[in-house]
Amino acid sequence: MKEDRDQDEKVKISVFIATSLDGFIARKNGEIDWLMDADNSGGEEDYGYKEFFGSVDCLVMGRNTMEKVLSFGEWPYEEKRVVILSRALTELPQQIKERAELYSGPVADLIKKLEQEACHSLYIDGGKTIQSFLKCSLINEIILTRIPILLGEGIPLFGKLQKDLHLKHIHTKEFQSGFVQSTYEVVLQ
């Protein structure tokens, strides 16, 4: 797997995500109400998301994440290339058919394809999608914002790995809301 990563070194592949303090990205039923309620900045703080999102060429997300985003109403990624990973879908929902593309193959092949198409910085979103990229050693950077709430159970960000995954701490930032955001570089061994 390290060989796959060495070939793809030109593409920066990042995760930008929030979890509860106990490591969940959503409740067991997929709801993220706790995340929406946690921000007490009144929408004043974006926690670095706008700058991060502006730095990427393409967003890659899974079907579950796509469905959650669609439940918010307006598609927020108009100006960005978006790839939806799904083995189950044969076509995208009508409202995003012209705004996203569907991919069902191996993630390592997707990275090679995107690199050939001049993508240099990717944003990976969604629990299962992030886990699949981590299992293939295809993540360079993790920007993780911990929200000061314990859910006790839910959908975890991280899943089983075949071996330990070492991270190098780059920096941590604290926000008035109590959110703590840490940036890590994934260290290939």
- Backbone torsions φ then ψ of 115, nearest 5 degrees: -65, -40
Q: pTM (2 decimals)?
A: 0.90
Query: Residue 122 is part of which domain span?
Result: 2-179
Residue 117: inside a domain: yes
187, part of any domain: no
In a domain, 184, yes or no: no
| Segment 135-180, tens digit of pLDDT | 999 999 999 999 999 999 999 999 888 888 999 999 999 999 999 9
> Is 186 within the bounds of a domain?
no
Q: Is residue 189 part of a domain?
A: no
Q: Say if 163 falls within a structural domain.
A: yes
β-pair partners for 147: 20
Supply the pLDDT for residue 160: 87
Q: What is the pLDDT of residue 78?
A: 87
Strand order in the sheet with 180-187: 101-103, 81-85, 58-62, 121-125, 12-20, 141-147, 180-187, 166-174
Tell me whether residue 188 is in a domain.
no
Q: Is residue 20 part of a domain?
A: yes
Token pair belonging to 23:
């490591």
- Return the bridge partners of 20, or none: 147
> Which of 16, 96, 28, 32 has the alpha carbon at shortest distance from 68?
32
Number of compact structural domains in the chain = 1
Mean pLDDT of 98-117: 95
Q: Phi and psi dihedrals of 5, rounded to 5?
A: -65, -40
For residue 49, the domain's CATH number is 3.40.430.10
